[in-house]
Structure 1
Amino acid sequence: MHPLNLCIDLGNTTGKAAFFRQQKMLEYHEQLSEKSILHLVQKEQPHHIIISSVRSNLDGLLDQLKQYSEVMVLDSILPVPMINHYETPHTLGTDRIAGVVGARVLYPQDSCLVIDAGTCITYDFIDQQDNYFGGSISLGLQMRFKALHHYTDRLPLIEASTTRPALVGTNTPKAILSGVINGLVAEIEGVIAGYSENFGNFAPILCGGDAAFFESKIKESIFVASNLILIGLNRILIYNVENKLKS
């Protein structure tokens, strides 16, 4: 039987995790605290663990995890199955790395544009030869609503509507909804069109916390992969384990 892998994606407050054997995801868990992650590890005893995190200090968690399994942390030094041309790799978010690697797992024959709709919206492109040059970073959905409220005296804080708003907002809340949601949809569609003009055919992939929100609002055919980061982490883990066995 193939070894059991645990892939962990840690946010600022909670984390997501999935167990894999080879490329097959067996279990998915979300809203995880460090305590619940340790409980999972103690219960399932995975052979290998990989972590991607936005947190600056993981020492305490790593020390505990290493008691049960071999642990690797995705950073700018860990080898990955892509050619990284980013000019400042030490500033590149590990979620962006895992995202493009995961995209190539799902589309091994295609260039891919990964659109991660979370706190920020990131756009990352990787070609058929696994060359990664970078992409762009933009304000996310909730950040746009909060910025309009925070940086003005009179604009209210609005919650996103589930349906796409009318183009013409007939009052201030509706105008904010139109500006934020329609503007963001236009941005995403425009970025896809720009990459298509410059790079030809590719697979656009949408992930992140707001992926489901935008899926039905974007005109272009787009694949939603909610677990793309975890899929990429698993591929990076396997890549490093295989390289270690060869050496």
Structure 2
Amino acid sequence: MNTVIDIGNTLVKGAIFKKDNIIWHEKAKPKTFLNLIQSQLSKYQGTSNLLFSATGHINQEWIDFFNSNFKVYEFNHNTPLPFKNHYKTPNTLGLDRIALVAAAQYLYSNKNVLIIDAGTCITYDFKSSENDYLGGNISPGLDMRFKALNRFTANLPRLKLEKPSTFPLGKTTKDAILNGVIQGVVDEIDQNIKRYKSEYKDLTVILTGGDQQYLSAQLKNSIFANSTFQLVGLNAILEYLLND
């Protein structure tokens, strides 16, 4: 069995895999997550390999835990990858985006795949049927757009994501912002999918990230929603390292 952990600035995500299947996954604040994963080891004996990535701070307690329980692999920009990376500035490519492409290669090896990650930012990444990563795009996520409207104007309120009470026209400033931001993102995603479909045949579209559950039902295009796609990608990279 494999364990994969992604340590961010405020949250840690992780999973335990038995072959291709996720048998446990969770996300929590760093201290809470460390306690959670420690409690899982007694349940899942034979979990010996660990791949971790750390964009946030990793302290000695984490390092000691890793080294005492696993054969450890660190995922960074020097890690060998199971696909060809054509990004011109590979050291600036987010590890989360790399993991998403690895998941696409692992699950859809001979297909054209567009991966859309709807989180803090919305990222679009494309893997060809030849397993070449050709690049992608980045735009502001839902919450970033709400923040910008409040920060860069004098009177617009700071809103959080919720369903507007009137649609498609807002009858209040609150609903006008909600409709504008949400439908702006939905239309952006649909238009990007349409553009890729016009250029690449038999396109598979994956939607993941924290806002995917809210957005997936509103998209006109057919997509596969997968909230654990990044974790699948981390496991794919670990399997590649183990078999290399």
Normalising by structure 2, we get a TM-score of 0.91
Q: Secondary structure of 1:214's match?
A: helix
Alignment match, 1:49: 50
Q: Distance in 2 between matches of 1:110 and 1:151?
A: 42
Alignment match, 1:58: 58
Q: Secondary structure of 1:66's match?
A: helix
Which 10-residue stretch deviates more, 66-75 or 158-167?
158-167
> Which residue among 28, 31, 37 is the counterpart of 1:31?
28
Alignment match, 1:16: 13
Task: Assess, with a 3 A threshold, how the Cα gap between structure 1 residues 196 and 231 changes in structure 2: closer, same or farther.
Answer: same
Alignment match, 1:147: 148
Q: Distance in 2 between matches of 1:51 and 1:84?
A: 20
Cα distance, 1:71 vs. partner? 1.3
Deviation by residue 1:159-212 (Cα, 9 ceiling, x = unmatched): 222369523223321211121011110000011111112223210000000000
Q: Distance in 1 between matches of 2:12 and 2:164?
A: 28
Alignment match, 2:129: 128
Contact 1:165 1:182 in 2 (8 A): no
Give yes or no for the alignment of 1:40 onto 2:48: no
Q: Distance in 2 between matches of 1:141 and 1:37?
A: 29
Pairing of 1:144-223 with structure 2 (within 5 A): 144-162=145-163, 166-223=167-224
Aligned positions, number: 239
Q: Secondary structure of 1:67's match?
A: helix
Task: Assess, with a 3 A threshold, how the Cα gap between structure 1 residues 163 and 177 changes in structure 2: closer, same or farther.
Answer: closer
Task: Assess, with a 3 A threshold, how the Cα gap between structure 1 residues 170 and 88 changes in structure 2: closer, same or farther.
Answer: same
**1:79 is matched by which residue type in structure 2?**
P
Which 10-residue stretch deviates more, 17-26 or 76-85?
17-26
Normalising by structure 1, we get a TM-score of 0.90
Cα distance, 1:127 vs. partner? 0.7
Task: Assess, with a 3 A threshold, how the Cα gap between structure 1 residues 236 and 160 changes in structure 2: closer, same or farther.
Answer: same
**1:24 is matched by which residue type in structure 2?**
N
Q: Distance in 2 between matches of 1:14 and 1:24?
A: 23
Contact 2:164 2:175 in 1 (8 A): no
Cα distance, 1:108 vs. partner? 2.7
Q: Distance in 2 between matches of 1:18 and 1:169?
A: 41
Q: Which runs of 5+ in 1 are unaligned?
A: none
Q: Secondary structure of 1:133's match?
A: strand
Q: Secondary structure of 2:190's match?
A: helix
Deviation by residue 1:116-139 (Cα, 9 ceiling, x = unmatched): 000111000001111002100110
- Deviating above 6 A after TM superposition, structure 1's stretches of 4 or more consecutive aligned residues are none
Which 10-residue stretch deviates more, 90-99 or 62-71?
62-71
Cα distance, 1:91 vs. partner? 0.8
Q: Secondary structure of 1:185's match?
A: helix
Task: Assess, with a 3 A threshold, how the Cα gap between structure 1 residues 184 and 32 changes in structure 2: closer, same or farther.
Answer: same
Task: Assess, with a 3 A threshold, how the Cα gap between structure 1 residues 163 and 169 changes in structure 2: closer, same or farther.
Answer: closer
Which 10-residue stretch deviates more, 163-172 or 42-51?
163-172
Contact 1:38 1:65 in 2 (8 A): no
Contact 1:41 1:65 in 2 (8 A): no
Task: Assess, with a 3 A threshold, how the Cα gap between structure 1 residues 23 and 165 changes in structure 2: closer, same or farther.
Answer: farther
Contact 1:7 1:234 in 2 (8 A): yes
Give yes or no for the alignment of 1:86 onto 2:87: yes
Cα distance, 1:32 vs. partner? 4.6
Q: Secondary structure of 1:217's match?
A: coil
